[in-house]
Amino acid sequence: MSPNTTPEARRIERAAAERFDATLSIAPDASGLEELARNLEHRSHRRYAERPVPPELLQVLFACAFSAPSKSDLQQADIIHVSDAARRRAIVETIPDMPWIMNAPVFLIFCANNRRIRQIGEWRGKPFVNEHLDHFMNAAVDAGLVMMNFIRAAEAAGLGTCPISAVRNRADTVSGVLELPQGVFPVAGLCAGYPAEAGRITPRLPLNVTVHEDRYSESELREKIEAYDRRRHAVLPYRRQRNIERFGEAPFYGWSEDKARQYAVPERTDFGAFIRRQGFSLK
């Protein structure tokens, strides 16, 4: 690293090396270096200090979240702040391996909402004729964008977060706890609070696997993934192997072996049926 770069530029270089094993550099006078560094340094947090998040800060973060882009300005997302302990416990009981969610100062559920647009059409005397998969996708993507904006804003305010996709494991139960009507469904949960520890950067696939120029390419894909397996294992080895009783114990257990085992077991097989019950045809 050049001694002439700024502290933020050096943070960007260090985080890129740790995350992607990549050598990235940026002009020290470029705009937004602090935000770029914060993005690259992102880490999930599951342990939080016993310090409440001020309600006024939470409202600002909600406003930041809903400042995200929205498909055609349809605004098909909602956030449910699960502050009631009994409701939160009922959700956590559907996720038995994550009891720590109960200790998070803030627990949110980000929902996709296609109901509001249908209601508006009824009020305005217009038919809803887009009964197909795309309107499900639009709502789900809107909710994802809102959640990502919340995460970015929360980290800028000194909070740590951890997304919880497992709220979809029992989407019907979670929907009942939250009293979600037809046209609304949970996309992901999110824990938030002041971190109790620094956490660490999780290595990701190299950019030459996930970024393509002009056309999709799988050039040397297997070799690149195997190299990533070794790099990640060196700094963040898995503490346990999945489904040893079915697949045995691997002599080397990397990211690709873990993900292959994860998707070799049925997961959320009833989610499509739940979504249809919520009023989405998925045609």
Given 199, 220, 246, the domain boundary residue is 199
For 168-196, write each residue's pLDDT tens digit: 999 999 999 999 999 999 999 999 999 99
Examine the domain organization and report whether 62 and 193 are in the same domain: yes
- Percentage of the chain modeled with pLDDT above 90: 97
pLDDT digits (tens, 9 = 90+) for 97-114: 999 999 999 999 999 999
Residues with Cβ within 8 Å of residue 253, at least 6 apart in sequence:
233, 237, 238, 241
pLDDT band at 96 (very low <50, low <70, confident <90, very high): confident
Is 60 exceeded by the pLDDT of residue 1? no
Residues contacting residue 227 through CB under 8 Å, at least 6 positions apart = 206
- For residues 103 and 195, membership in a common domain is answered with yes
168 plus 91 within the same structural domain: yes
Same domain (yes/no): 82, 176: yes
Per-residue pLDDT tens for 60-76?
999 999 999 999 999 99
14 and 76, same structural domain? no
Residues 211 and 128 in one domain: no
What would the two tokens of residue 122 be? 């009824």
Q: Average of pLDDT values for 151-173?
A: 97
> Quick check: is 282 in a domain?
no
Full-model pTM: 0.95
Residues 195 and 211 in one domain: no
User: What is the domain count for the chain?
Assistant: 3
**Residue 2: predicted pLDDT:** 57
pLDDT value of residue 123: 97
Contact 272, 282 (CB under 8 A): yes
**Separation of CA 9 from chain center:** 26
Residue 257 placed within a domain:
yes
pLDDT computed for residue 165 by the predictor = 97
Residue 281 lies in a domain: no
- Give the residue numbers spanning the domain of 60: 55-199
* AA letter at 80: I
Name the strand (E) or helix (H) holding 43. Answer: none
Classify residue 78 by burial, with Cβ atoms within 10 Å: 0-12, 13-18, 19+.
buried
DSSP per residue, 23-42: -----TT-TTHHHHHHHHT-
pLDDT of residue 71: 96
Question: Is residue 101 a part of any domain in this protein?
Answer: yes
User: 170 and 148: one domain?
Assistant: yes
Gap between the Cα atoms of 113 and 138, Å rounded: 9
Domain match, 242 and 160 both: no
- Residue 104's CATH number: 3.40.109.10
Clarify whether residues 60 and 95 are in a common domain: yes
Same domain, 71 and 135: yes
User: What Å distances lie between residue 98 and 31, 102, 247, CA to CA?
Assistant: 39, 9, 24
**79 located within any domain:** yes
Chosen domain end from 170, 199, 228: 199
Angle formed by the axes of helices 33-40 and 7-20, nearest 10°: 30
Distance from C-alpha of 169 to C-alpha of 198, rounded to nearest angstrom? 29
Answer yes or no: is 160 within a domain. Answer: yes
